[in-house]
Each structure stands twice: as C-alpha cells, then as structure tokens.
Structure 1
C-alpha cells in the first residue's frame, strides 16, 4: 500500500516535467505532436507506453491499441511507424500468445506499407525478442529489431540479424544489467557502439543510429563521407524532448532524423529510465522546481 501510494505521489509530482518527454496521455494529443514534428522535417515513430503486462485481456487491449495507432496514422499522412514492447502484448504470459499478437500488428502494418519496431527490454527478454522478430520477419518483412551495445552478446546478434536482412535500431541500452553479460564502463559501451554502427552503415540495409551522443553522431557523419555512402541510406533516431537542438541541426544538414514519441498514462517507468540515462534530464526537473509559475 505504501509503495503504491509513494509511486502515485511521485507521478503527481513529476507530471508537469514529463510533458517534455511524452507526446501526451491520449492518442489525440500524440497525433498532434507528430504533426508538429512533421512540419519541422522530422520522421516519427509512435510508442504506446506500457510494459510487463500479465493479464491476457490487457495484452489484447494493447495489441488493438497498436493496430488503432496504425489506422489513425494512415489517413493523416503521418509516418505509419510504431514501436512496441513485447511484454505489453503478452510475452510474460506466453511466447506463443505474444507472437500471435505481434503477427496481427505486423500484418496490419503491411496493408498500409507501415513498419513495426520491436523495442528491446531487459536482458531477460533479449533471446525471445530476437526470436519473435526473426520469425515474424520471415513471414512479413516490415518489422525491425533493437540491439543494445551495452550487452556483450550484441556483437554476435548483429551478424545474425544482418544476414537475415532485419532492420536494426542501435542503442546503448537503458537497463541495469550484471557485469557477466553487460559492459559497465561507458567507454566499452561506446566502443562497441561505434564498431557495430560502422558495420550497419555498410550493410546495405536501412538501419537506425539511435543516439544523442554528439561525438558518435560526428563519427557517423565522417564515416559516411569517407565511405561515399548516401545520407538517406540510414537514419538517426532520437527521443522526444532530448537534444532537440541537435536533431534540428541534423535535419538542416540533410540527414534523416526520426523522433521516438511515446504516449499514454503508463509513463512512469519510461520517464525514470530517461532520468537514469542522462544527468541533464535530472537537472531539467530540478531547475524547474525553482522556477516561478
């Protein structure tokens, strides 16, 4: 009871600051956010917030919400691109059940030339997530995976996914993982990121370099120029509310930039991961505490 009460209080306290990082609590608000981003020249991906669902009815509701997302995006001329979490559509309940829901979502995306990205969650789900993406991709190719360079296994996973032709979003990783399976030093995470990034850029597949790290972005730009690659052969991806200045600059320079736009009422876990990831996000909240209304 006290833990629940404490979380409720935290959510009330943090709600004013969360607006920067989420597209809204309703789909209507999120669609308006996407339209504004489109006007600025950004590509977008929409994420219905939620994870760790253990109730079949809730998993089915989330599946239908993802399908609704695609159907609402289509007539508005917005990118029919969504990001989903497998634990939200039943992976914690039964893998076969989650696969069934995933296939239903991807089939809907296929009818409108859309795209579904399966977000990566904690390492306990890595194997099942990559397995389900690979299985769905064999049937319907408009699905992509996410790989985290903090995980040691990613160096091998990327080779397998490239071989299968799966589009990858490369991230550093936002989950706390043990030293046995994950790099703990940022320098090691960054080094693996750059190595894999270069492999992705030269693979001939349209991948996503998802980072706010300006040093890595500069390295990507330099590498693309050196290898004679086209600017539109891949895309950068960033989270809503983080380094918007850098995102705008990249668009000005002619790079493809996709903004990850989450929405919904279940924003607490997502927001707390953003605070853990970047010190400046914590400072953003603290600074606003002392601002007058």
Structure 2
C-alpha cells in the first residue's frame, strides 16, 4: 500500500494540468502553509518569525529542469538577490538550489558559471549554499560539480539520498572534502536497479549514513520527520559524545512544528526548509510521496 501511495503522488507531481491548476488556485488550498510566498520578499517576514522562535532557515526558489540559458541565468540572479536580502536583513538563513535550475541539462560551462557567481556573493556575506540532489540520473554530475567547487568555496554543502545504492560509496568519496552534508531518504521515482525498493532498507541505510558521516567528523544535517530517525540520532550523538555544533535537524516548513520546538527546547539546532515561488506543486507532491505520514502533517497544517 505504501508503494502504491508513493507512486501515486510521484505520478501527480508530473501532471502538468494539475500543476497549472495549483499555480492558479494554490493559496485557496493551503499552499501558503507550506510555501513562503511567490517572492523572496514575501518570505522575509516568515524567516524573521522563525528566527525569532529560535529556528534556522534554508530557502529554496522552487523550480527545476530549466531548458533555456536565459532562464538559467535568471535563476542565478534570483539566488544572488536572495543572498543579498538575507545579508541586508540579517536573517539566519542559508540557500538551497538545484543544478537543473541553473543549467545542468544545458551545458556544464553554464551551470559552473552560474554557481561561481552565486558562491562569490555567498562567500562575501558568509552564507552557506547547499546543492540539492535531484534524480539518480543527475547524481554523479551534481557530486562532480560539488567536488570541483568545494575546494575554493568552504561555504558549500550538498545532499546524499539514502534510497540510492551508491550513497555509501559517495559518502566515502566526499569525506576528503570535509563535506557539509544534508542526509535524506529521497523523493524521486527510481528503478530498483539503482534504489532500495523497500522503506525499511531506506531507513536502515539512512541510519548507517548518519552514523558514518558523524563519526567521520563531518557536519551533518539530518533531514527527516521520522521519529525513529530523530531518536536514533539523539541516541547516537549521546553514545559518542558528539557535540551539538556538529549536526542539526532539518524539517519542512509547515510540518512537524511541535517536534521542531521540542528539539529546540532540548538544545538542538533545527533548520526549517522554506521554499518560495510559484512552482510549489511538484515539490509538495514529492514530499507526500516521500512519507505517507506527511499527508496527515500537511492536512493538519492546512486546516489548523
């Protein structure tokens, strides 16, 4: 049943008609409960409120799979403007971005040029940039970009997905780079040839990756709403005396808000992933596919 639910929401995430409908009527159906607004300026008051509550933030301008050079450059410009606004408003926020939004599917030269411009601005303001991970077909290229840029840009992180078989080996290859890694389960529809088909195996691998990266001494962001994963991490860091400044928990805006506050009260760093922009529909469907319990969280967030 869980596999059927996941496939259903992944199918919906690629439905162009529903995407157009969502963009037109999203606010009526609770999009504002999961997305920070259509522009970064609209998201600023939310970031300020989250910071006031003690939460860190990472923002993401929604949109991916850009197929024109002009749009990719526009996306880069949006990232740069958001960095500048984070700095000018003294927000406790990082920036997440996708390589396909910056031209990965167009040319290597274009995506590297855009990333250099973004990272130069981010370094000027001491703001961390995280390269989000996309589907498995782009995983290798994304990690190659990360490795090429990391040596000159220490304020750069990326993401490893536990549902991919390759992730353990990827973690080994990234270790020499002193990586800042967000560890997640993964939310794209993948073949059994490249990804674990069963949830328990994905969960077990996530625990393995969390332990490995933390014991390697690398900064680790545990991005999960799963009680079992959070409890496992808390027990792990206690057993190995890992200080709280070496890891953080990350959760989606609008979901598990009580858990976020509970973790804050226990002394942990908690970062909220706050997307903004019109292209929220595909993002939301993938979050529902990621974990069926997110459906209940989303419904409560929309109607509470």
Q: What's the TM-score once normalised by structure 1's chain length?
A: 0.93
- Structure 2 gap ranges (5+): 1-14
Deviation sequence 1:123-178 (CA, Å, 0-9, x none): 11100100001101012121111000000000000011112212111000000100
Q: CA deviation at 1:231?
A: 1.7
Mapped to 2, the partners of 1:193 and 1:115 lie a distance apart of 23
Structure 1 residue aligned with 2:200: 187
Q: Are the counterparts in 2 of residues 171 and 211 from structure 1 also a CA contact under 8 Å?
A: yes
Note the 1:1-293 alignment, pairs <5 A.
Answer: 4-15=16-27, 16-283=29-296
- Structure 1 gap ranges (5+): none
SS in 2 for 1:19: helix
Q: CA deviation at 1:274?
A: 1.7
SS in 2 for 1:222: helix
Mapped to 2, the partners of 1:288 and 1:242 lie a distance apart of 7
Q: What's the TM-score once normalised by structure 2's chain length?
A: 0.90
Q: CA deviation at 1:95?
A: 1.4
Q: CA deviation at 1:8?
A: 2.2
Q: CA deviation at 1:14?
A: 4.3
Q: Are the counterparts in 1 of residues 185 and 202 from structure 2 also a CA contact under 8 Å?
A: yes
Q: CA deviation at 1:80?
A: 4.5
Task: Say what the alpha-carbon RMSD is for the aligned residues.
Answer: 1.9
Q: CA deviation at 1:280?
A: 3.8
Deviation sequence 1:258-291 (CA, Å, 0-9, x none): 11110011112111112222334434666899x7
The number of residue pairs the alignment matches comes to 289
Q: CA deviation at 1:10?
A: 4.3
Mapped to 1, the partners of 2:300 and 2:234 lie a distance apart of 33
Q: Are the counterparts in 2 of residues 79 and 114 from structure 1 also a CA contact under 8 Å?
A: no
Name which structure has the greater RCO, CA cutoff 8 Å, separation 6+.
Answer: 2
